[in-house]
């Protein structure tokens, strides 16, 4: 019996599968496929976190975010500075504010 996945997995997963006396087929993604699968992985990890909010699932999201940062040559220290700057300027999300409407009619 085969289970079909067609998804990006962590670097040691093939070895783990083979140590369990199972056979896995896989390929190495080209740059375009890698980017697509990485964003699919982000959505997958977010869904898993929504279904089971815990530190382990959150760490999986962070791992994907770190990989996306590397892929785009982003410096995480710069990203953190931008995050803090936006927090100071616009605030965070702790106040639970839901924006419903903005009246743009001029008086």
pLDDT tens, 78-88?
Answer: 999 999 999 99
Helix, strand, coil percent values for the chain (each to nearest 5): 55, 0, 45
The tens digit of pLDDT for each residue in 45-75 reads: 999 999 999 999 999 999 999 999 999 999 9
Q: Please report the pLDDT score of residue 105 as a whole number.
A: 87
Residue 8's CB is within 10 A of a number of other CB atoms, namely 19
Helix (H) / strand (E) containing 63? helix 55-71
Please list, in sequence order, all residues whose beta carbon lies within 8 angstroms of the beta carbon of residue 38, skipping any fewer than 6 positions away.
8, 64, 67, 68, 71
């Amino acid at each position: 019996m085969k289970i079909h996945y067609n998804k990006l997995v962590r670097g040691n997963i093939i070895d783990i599968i083979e140590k369990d006396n199972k056979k896995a087929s896989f390929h190495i993604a080209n740059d375009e496929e890698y980017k697509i699968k990485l964003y699919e992985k982000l959505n997958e990890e977010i869904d898993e976190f929504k279904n089971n909010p815990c530190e382990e699932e959150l760490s999986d999201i962070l791992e994907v975010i770190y990989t996306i940062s590397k892929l785009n040559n982003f410096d995480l220290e710069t990203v953190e500075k931008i995050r803090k700057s936006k927090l100071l300027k616009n605030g965070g999300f702790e106040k639970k504010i839901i924006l419903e409407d903005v009246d743009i009619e001029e008086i």
